[in-house]
């Protein structure tokens, strides 16, 4: 039983067009005006769930009250056309087996095997940033972080830089992203309808599938050395611990696409917001620099350094509180549910906006203040685990959370120890575009400055 909550009912069609323009702003407004549980009706009827305990009840789903993939939910139908039998979109039975097979590949110890690759990518990137810092020219940090994240993700998933393939991957991805972010209009949006966007998306899917099947065939023919294992190889060897069943090539392709779509932009968005926040808080940036200098001195970053970067990690946690990279989670009720004393009918769509939850002043005092010390161990222990869910919670929690936290820490440490990113054009961090991930609506123009060498700083 959760504490009683008054159900706020927004007038029919209340500002729903804003779902397309600034969905996060819209959800924040619904919460501010109608409370922690809101019924919004119009083009799409849904309950916005803002209360942390209700969010926990839905996500943990102890009593099987909701499903994530449901034929009645147009958003998941759309995502499912791309992800197909992949983890983020498969129906409950297949999902359970797939999660059992794939989870061990993403555990904390398995992910440590990717640290060297991530560090090598970071070093390559630092050389590229050297040239940018020397030129002093402003550039689009969003595009930069997208490229960096694509590089790391493809290296870890496919164990190759695939530089020649980046342009093709980016092209397929941007078509799929346009499809995923388009409004699900009844006829024009239906998957069978031969609209230009549907046809382009199907062509991009076919091309990706052919390309990924080719990679899988090459891995089968010529296995990699044990120290160069990638995610394809790991999936070829994955077995369901209950039944012993392995994965078909088709399942591996769907999973690779799911990992790319779920992982590459979200991590890029988190990196972008991290360098933005550092640029806005010189005192916090100075503490990060001091920690990096103390722990790393002048030597190269290694895997063993990561657990020692506690403050830098808190900065990343606070970035993902204030400006989480992924903004929504959705579920459909499969039975009538009591939520805070309100009867929610079976077949209702529940929407949870992560930024709205993370900036709820009832839970987070002064939410607009950027304060990494909200993540000191004692502060975390005093808070409900439902208040902070950048990677979700419960059975569908992000399978890539260890992977991306490791990537975020490696990239932030390797780049921030050498460079300061300086914002060139002002931006309002609440004016965001929330699609697959959350970005400042008008881009982020920054330039780089090289930091002085550690030895010089310590002497002065
Ligand atoms: C900063 C980076 C990331 C963020 C913020 C993020 C966030 C999330 C969230 C909030 C969910 C839960 C969705 C729900 O409950 O409906 C999720 C699920 C998922 N994520 Fe991530 N993610 C990130 C990176 C990654 C990476 C790198 C991968 C894979 C390589 C990945 C793969 C997945 C998959 C497969 C699911 C579905 C899990 C399931 O239903 O079993 N994510 N992610």
In the predicted structure, residue 34 carries a pLDDT above the cut 60: yes
> What are the pLDDT digits (tens) for 186-196?
777 789 999 99
Using the mean position of ligand 1's atoms as its centre, give its distance from the Cα of residue 404 in Å. 9
The arithmetic mean of pLDDT across residues 328-336, rounded, is 95
Ligand 1: lining residues by beta carbon, under 6 Å: 68, 87-88, 99, 258-259, 262-263, 266-267, 270, 325-326, 329, 390-392, 396, 398-400, 403-404
CB 306 within 8 A of CB 406: yes
For ligand 1, atom 11, the nearest C-alpha belongs to 398
For ligand 1, atom 9, the nearest C-alpha belongs to 391
The arithmetic mean of pLDDT across residues 249-275, rounded, is 95
User: Is 2 inside a domain boundary?
Assistant: no
Question: Across the chain, what does the average pLDDT equal?
Answer: 91
> What are the pLDDT digits (tens) for 85-115?
999 999 888 999 999 999 999 988 888 888 9
For ligand 1, atom 27, the nearest C-alpha belongs to 263
For ligand 1, atom 19, the nearest C-alpha belongs to 398
Q: How confident is the model at residue 161 (pLDDT cuts 50, 70, 90)?
A: low
More reliable by pLDDT, 452 or 8 = 8
Using the mean position of ligand 1's atoms as its centre, give its distance from the Cα of residue 436 in Å. 11
Pocket test for ligand 1, best of 400, 402, 437 (most atoms within 8 A of CB): 400
User: Is 1 inside a domain boundary?
Assistant: no
CATH code at position 71: 1.10.630.10
The arithmetic mean of pLDDT across residues 186-209, rounded, is 92
Label residues 397-408 b or e (16+ Cβ within 10 Å = b): ebbbebbbbbbb
> What are the pLDDT digits (tens) for 138-153?
999 999 999 999 989 8
Task: Detail the DSSP E strand segments found in 113-207.
Answer: 139-140
Using the mean position of ligand 1's atoms as its centre, give its distance from the Cα of residue 398 in Å. 4
Q: What are phi and psi of 391, to 5 degrees?
A: -110, 20
User: Is 144 inside a domain boundary?
Assistant: yes
User: Is 431 inside a domain boundary?
Assistant: yes
Using the mean position of ligand 1's atoms as its centre, give its distance from the Cα of residue 126 in Å. 27
In the predicted structure, residue 405 carries a pLDDT above the cut 60: yes
For ligand 1, atom 1, the nearest C-alpha belongs to 267
Using the mean position of ligand 1's atoms as its centre, give its distance from the Cα of residue 87 in Å. 10
User: Is 262 inside a domain boundary?
Assistant: yes
Cα–Cα distance measured from residue 106 to residue 348, given in angstroms and rounded to the nearest whole number: 32
In the predicted structure, residue 17 carries a pLDDT above the cut 90: no
- Looking at the CA of residue 407, tell me the nearest atom of ligand 1: 27
User: Is 444 inside a domain boundary?
Assistant: yes
The percentage of the chain sitting over the pLDDT mark of 90, rounded to a whole number, equals: 73
Q: How confident is the model at residue 309 (pLDDT cuts 50, 70, 90)?
A: very high
Task: Look up residue 397 and give its DSSP letter.
Answer: S
pLDDT at 202: 97
Q: What's the predicted TM-score (pTM) here?
A: 0.95
- Looking at the CA of residue 404, tell me the nearest atom of ligand 1: 27
More reliable by pLDDT, 41 or 458 = 41
Q: How confident is the model at residue 446 (pLDDT cuts 50, 70, 90)?
A: very high
Place of tokens 């690759």: 117
Using the mean position of ligand 1's atoms as its centre, give its distance from the Cα of residue 222 in Å. 31
Q: How confident is the model at residue 16 (pLDDT cuts 50, 70, 90)?
A: confident
Q: How confident is the model at residue 302 (pLDDT cuts 50, 70, 90)?
A: very high
The arithmetic mean of pLDDT across residues 305-320, rounded, is 98
- Looking at the CA of residue 264, tell me the nearest atom of ligand 1: 27
> What are the pLDDT digits (tens) for 408-417?
999 999 999 9
Cα–Cα distance measured from residue 142 to residue 152, given in angstroms and rounded to the nearest whole number: 16
User: Is 3 inside a domain boundary?
Assistant: no
Domain that holds residue 176: 8-459
The arithmetic mean of pLDDT across residues 220-249, rounded, is 86
pLDDT at 456: 52
In the chain, the N- to C-terminal Cα span, in Å, equals: 60
In the predicted structure, residue 455 carries a pLDDT above the cut 60: no
Using the mean position of ligand 1's atoms as its centre, give its distance from the Cα of residue 424 in Å. 31
- CB-based contacts of 260, cutoff 8 Å, min separation 6: 153, 154, 157, 169, 173
Phi-psi region of 326 (alpha: psi -120 to 50; beta: other; left: phi over 0): beta
What value does the CA radius of gyration of the chain take, rounded to a whole number of Å? 22
In the predicted structure, residue 454 carries a pLDDT above the cut 60: no
Label residues 81-92 b or e (16+ Cβ within 10 Å = b): bbbbbbbbbbee
In the predicted structure, residue 460 carries a pLDDT above the cut 60: no
By mean pLDDT, which of 103-117, 244-258, 295-309 is the weakest? 103-117
The arithmetic mean of pLDDT across residues 45-72, rounded, is 93
Using the mean position of ligand 1's atoms as its centre, give its distance from the Cα of residue 401 in Å. 7
pLDDT at 19: 76
* Helix 401-416 / helix 310-322 crossing angle, nearest 10 deg: 120
The arithmetic mean of pLDDT across residues 323-339, rounded, is 96
Using the mean position of ligand 1's atoms as its centre, give its distance from the Cα of residue 68 in Å. 13
Pairing of strands 349-353, 445-450: unpaired
More reliable by pLDDT, 269 or 223 = 269
Cα–Cα distance measured from residue 23 to residue 181, given in angstroms and rounded to the nearest whole number: 12
In the predicted structure, residue 22 carries a pLDDT above the cut 90: no
For ligand 1, atom 7, the nearest C-alpha belongs to 391
DSSP 250-304: HHHHHHHHHHHHHHHHHHHHHHHHHHHHHHH-HHHHHHHHHHHHHHHTTSPP-GG
User: Is 36 inside a domain boundary?
Assistant: yes
Cβ–Cβ contacts within 10 Å for residue 432, how many?
Answer: 23
The arithmetic mean of pLDDT across residues 256-272, rounded, is 94
pLDDT at 458: 56
Into how many domains does the chain fold? 1
């Amino acid at each position: 039983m959760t504490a009683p909550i008054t159900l706020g009912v927004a007038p029919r069609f209340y500002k729903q067009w804003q779902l397309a323009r600034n969905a996060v702003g819209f959800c924040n407004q619904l919460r501010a005006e109608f409370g922690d549980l809101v019924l919004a009706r119009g083009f799409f009827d849904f309950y916005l769930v803002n209360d942390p305990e209700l969010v926990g009840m839905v996500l943990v789903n102890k009593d099987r009250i909701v499903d994530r993939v449901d034929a009645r939910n147009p958003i998941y139908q759309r995502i499912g056309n791309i992800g197909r039998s992949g983890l983020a979109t498969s129906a409950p039975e297949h999902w359970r087996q797939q999660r059992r097979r794939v989870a061990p590949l993403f555990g904390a110890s398995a992910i440590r095997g990717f640290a060297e690759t991530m560090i090598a990518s970071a070093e390559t990137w630092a050389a590229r940033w050297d040239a940018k810092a020397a030129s002093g020219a402003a550039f689009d940090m969003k595009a930069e972080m997208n490229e960096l994240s694509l590089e790391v993700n493809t290296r870890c998933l496919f164990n190759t830089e695939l530089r020649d393939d980046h342009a093709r991957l980016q092209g397929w991805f941007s078509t799929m992203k346009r499809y995923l972010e388009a409004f699900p209009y009844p006829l024009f949006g239906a998957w069978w309808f031969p609209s230009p966007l549907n046809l382009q998306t199907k062509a991009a899917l076919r091309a990706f599938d052919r390309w990924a099947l080719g990679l899988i065939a090459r891995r089968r023919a010529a296995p990699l050395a044990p120290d160069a294992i990638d995610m394809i190889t790991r999936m070829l060897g994955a077995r369901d611990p209950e039944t012993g069943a392995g994965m078909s090539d088709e399942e591996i392709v769907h999973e690779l696409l799911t990992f790319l779509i779920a992982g590459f932009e979200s991590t890029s968005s988190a990196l972008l917001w991290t360098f933005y926040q550092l640029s806005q808080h010189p005192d916090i940036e100075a503490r990060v620099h001091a920690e990096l200098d103390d722990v790393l001195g002048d030597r190269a970053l290694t895997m063993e350094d990561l657990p020692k970067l506690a403050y830098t990690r808190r900065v990343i946690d606070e970035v993902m509180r204030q400006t989480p990279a992924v903004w929504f989670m959705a579920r459909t009720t499969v039975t009538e549910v009591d939520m805070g004393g309100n009867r929610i009918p079976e077949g209702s769509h529940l929407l949870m906006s992560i930024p709205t939850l993370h900036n709820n002043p009832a839970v987070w005092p002064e939410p607009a203040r950027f304060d990494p010390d909200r993540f000191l161990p004692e502060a975390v222990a005093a808070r409900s685990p439902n208040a902070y869910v950048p990677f979700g919670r419960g059975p569908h929690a992000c399978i890539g959370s260890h992977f991306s936290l490791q990537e975020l820490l490696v990239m932030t440490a390797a780049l921030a120890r050498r460079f300061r990113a300086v914002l060139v054009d002002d931006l309002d961090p609440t004016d965001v575009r929330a699609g697959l991930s959350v970005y400042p609506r008008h881009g982020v123009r920054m330039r780089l400055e090289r930091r002085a060498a550690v030895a010089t700083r310590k002497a002065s």
